[in-house]
Structure 1
């Protein structure tokens, strides 16, 4: 049985829980509690768990006795001394109210082909579950999961190397760091080309992150564990004082959350030069400040369109970014690749330089959005769609790349446009014929996305006006 088949079997069990009113995301969290115990047994690591709470203690019980034991297990493991158990089970509670449903899930998990799962990789199995959850529109989990093909492309171009500290300040389920670890492993024969000390660094310190949402942090911790990554994943808010201590990274890869802070409140950071309630602008400000100032530290960040053109503080932050960093490339992403269909996004690639002024001389832009097919579940984004961009990005002489989607803008040209980076989109011929009109559902979702973005910007303006009246 392949991991894909196992994932589908586990996912089908969610149907069992419909009568209990359990959401997809709650189901994945519930599965995490159970899969952790089963996987610890399968990998011979259940010695860290007190014997009364190991996997076999669940298999040997049924009915109300099983339900009561399971609830006590979650409570006690959340108080365990072992740090890993604490991270997985702190504040854990079951969503399952019907004992027969719990019993069926446990027996189904126990009866899966775990030999095949271990051969293919338990980490890949778990990540498959996370991806399945994100692809279900009803789960609402798309915000926590960046499509793997996009992550892999970003990691490939960022090119993390052994010995470098990589970080994701908005870690989600840890997808970027999992991919970065996989990339370095492939380059070093699964770390066997490294010394024992170097290999230990890769597993213990090379990859870390911060995640704000408790349940998502739980999923990230499990994901890292199953991929043999033991770097620190902090539960907290990067835009709070926690973020002030996150510094001197070699590589930052992230897809920070969109929107503004609740109530339009400002971030509680004392180290930011520019204050705004816009989360993406604050994350961008955090990221270029958190990189080493050695001319080699680099970042790739997924950001919505409004970051490219928003005025006021947005202009100040873009200008500061282009001063402190070499913003060398922007990838304009197609619409429909995230589960909030109307959101238009980009990837900004930049390097933190040694000085703090005039480091961006020119910006190359690749338009992977205009005149592209409509992407979604029926037409997913694949590696093939990124091939020409990767070719242009990695060319020794970018000026020799003949591709209408690939254009360059000097710093002076950008300054003349008020330091707006909403540049590089080619002529749109998608409306030249009736048969090329967009899908009405996609068009409606795009309109909703624009309205949501507009409301966010208006809230920012209202907050600015109120603050100026009070001062």
Structure 2
């Protein structure tokens, strides 16, 4: 059974659990717990990592209420940071006040659960109330033939579940899910290389990190073409990320684990706080940061332009700029207001064009972030060796005008990006360009002087089409709702920018 068929089968089980009052997000979380236990068994990693009586076989063999009780106990045990495994693989809990000296000594000498287990199960609990529902879920997972064709297809299966969750919960853009076709495009264009530090400061469920690792493995025979020292770097030190939502971090860690990626440098935290500085410098940054109000200004002490900006997008872009090594490159998804906003937005654009070569802007079609609806772009830049005048020309590709309004009923595919990929060229630094297509084409070049004459406004469009004509073709309620939501969110971003420009109390200083 291939990964897509397994995804569909597991997803259909969600309808069973809906009777237990379980949401799609909670369902994927439950699957994360169960699939982790299953995979520890499949890969013979239970010994020394998981205590006896709390392994997959124990859960399968338990019956009825006893199964549910065991599952709850397992989650409670694994979710406690103070839980320990002793030499005999028996759970050792923190000693009570009345514990003997020998009990206390045994506890202090015991070793902790592996970090990954602690991170995935920290604070875990189950939403399942009916024992029969758990039995149905465990039976289905246990009976599926995961590896009949390819041992590593399980990682793709889990990514498929994350994608289904993003579609159903309508929480895709920025926080949980970036369309795989866009992730794979950006990775191909940026060409991550072994030996580079690759960072996603808003990791979500790990799409960019997994795709970058997969790209490098495919070109090095699963890293076997590298020296032992180079392999060690790739497996432990190359991938770095941060995620601010605990539940999403759980899914991220599971995704990395299933793709055999070490998560030592992936952590829970706010990138816009001083903890974000711990991500360090990077040779390549691939990210789709969250958009909209952040509920407060960044607490980072090294952000100069956006220190008083209380939305996500501008401070995240400044973080990426500051985190890049010399000649490091970045591809960042941003909403339209980053291209035109005055005040701090304009100052940030000037900073990028001075300190970096902002060589390409891709105007994305409407609707590819199905739930969000906000109009988005990808900005590509490389950190310069000097601090001034690094941008000479900016190339724009308009993949928005004249395109269908993508959504659940009209998904975007790799074929839609073929023209842009050809125009972008084969250099990840943007040094090989297709010819300017003029006013009737999608690919055009503007000089730094032309952009300065526009007051450094990068919201440049030359093709014309009434957006309402595109939206007249929408028929599905989901797509119509997404279009309305997109207009409302775009209006809110513009109101925030105007508030900042007028110096009124609000989103900005």
Which residue number in structure 1 is paired with residue 95 of structure 2? none
Q: Mapping of 1:124-273 within 5 angstroms?
A: 124-136=156-168, 138=169, 140-141=171-172, 143-231=175-263, 232-262=265-295, 265-273=296-304
Aligned to 2:317: 284
State the alpha-carbon separation in 1 of the partners of residues 273 and 378 from structure 2.
24
Aligned match of 1:353: 384
The structure-2 alpha-carbon separation of the partners of 1:139 and 1:27, relative to structure 1 and needing over 3 Å to count, comes to: farther
How far the C-alpha of 1:108 sits from its partner, in A, is 1.2
Q: What residue in structure 2 maps to residue 33 of structure 1?
A: 33
Comparing 334-343 and 83-92, the one that deviates more: 334-343
CA distance in 2, matches of 1:435, 1:450: 14
Matched, 1:389 2:420: yes
DSSP-derived class of the 2:421 partner: helix
Q: Name the SS for the 2:226 alignment partner.
A: coil
> 2:184 is paired with a residue of what secondary structure?
helix
Quick check: 1:335 aligned with 2:336?
no
Shift of residue 459 of structure 1?
4.6
Deviation readout 1:9-39 (Å, 9 max, x if unpaired): 1111101111111110110001000000001
User: Take 1:457 and 1:354, find their aligned partners in 2: how far apart are those partners?
Assistant: 34
- 1:30–1:94 contact (8 Å) kept in structure 2: yes
Q: Quick one: distance in 2 between partners of 1:129 and 1:315?
A: 39
Q: Which moved further from structure 2: 369-378 or 21-30?
A: 369-378
* Alignment root-mean-square deviation, CA: 2.2
Q: Deviations over 1:353-378 (max 9, x none)?
A: 11111111110000011001221222
Q: Does 1:119 align with 2:151?
A: yes
How far apart, in 2, do the equivalents of 1:134 and 1:314 lie?
30
1:7 aligns with 2:44: no
Cα offsets for 1:405-425 (capped at 9, x unmatched): 000111111111111110144
Give, in angstroms, the shift of residue 46 of structure 1.
1.4
Q: Normalized against structure 1, the TM-score is what? A: 0.93
**Distance of 1:105 and 1:90 partners within structure 2:** 22
Mind listing any 5+ residue stretches in structure 2 that lack a counterpart?
84-111
- Change in Cα spacing, 1:425 to 1:73, as seen in structure 2 (3 Å) is farther
Instruction: Output one character per residue of 1:443-470: Cα deviation in whole Å (capped at 9) or x when no partner.
Output: 653343232232244356557423899x
Aligned to 1:466: 505
Residue 435 of structure 1: how far off its partner (Å)? 9.2
More helix by share: 1
| CA displacement at 1:321 relative to structure 2 | 1.0
Contact 1:75 / 1:93 at 8 angstroms: preserved in 2? yes
Q: 1:306 to 1:117 in 2, by over 3 A?
A: farther
Q: Give yes or no for contact 2:355–2:386 (8 Å, CA) kept in 1.
A: yes
Partner residue of 2:60?
Answer: 59
Bigger mean CA offset, 71-80 vs 444-453: 444-453
Question: Which residue number corresponds to residue 91 of structure 2?
Answer: none
Other-structure match for 1:22: 22
Q: What residue in structure 2 maps to residue 325 of structure 1?
A: 356
Question: What's the TM-score, normalizing by structure 2?
Answer: 0.86
Conserved 8 A contact 1:328-1:364: yes
Cα-to-partner distance string for 1:28-84 (whole Å, 9 max, x where unaligned): 001000000001101111121111211011111122222221111011112342101
User: Is 2:424–2:434's contact at 8 Å kept on the other side of the alignment?
Assistant: no
Question: Match of 1:53, SS?
Answer: coil
Shift of 1:427: 2.3
Match of 2:104 in 1: none
Distance 1:51 1:38 in 2: 14
In structure 1, how many angstroms separate the alpha carbons of the residues matched to 2:315 and 2:489?
19
- The 1-side partners of 2:126 and 2:470 are apart by 50
* d(CA) in 2 for partners of 1:436, 1:106: 44
Q: Which residue of 2 aligns with 1:374?
A: 405
Once residues 261 and 506 of structure 2 are traced to their aligned partners in structure 1, the CA distance between those partners, rounded to angstroms, is 45
Unaligned runs of 5+ in 1: none
Report if the CA contact (8 A) 1:308-1:421 is conserved. yes
Partner-residue secondary structure (3-state), 1:115: coil
| Equivalent residue, structure 1, for 2:433 | 398
Q: Among 99, 116, 119, which residue is 1:87 paired with?
A: 119
SS at match of 1:381: coil
Secondary structure of residue in 1 paired with 2:151: helix
- The DSSP-based 3-state class of the residue aligned with 1:114 is coil
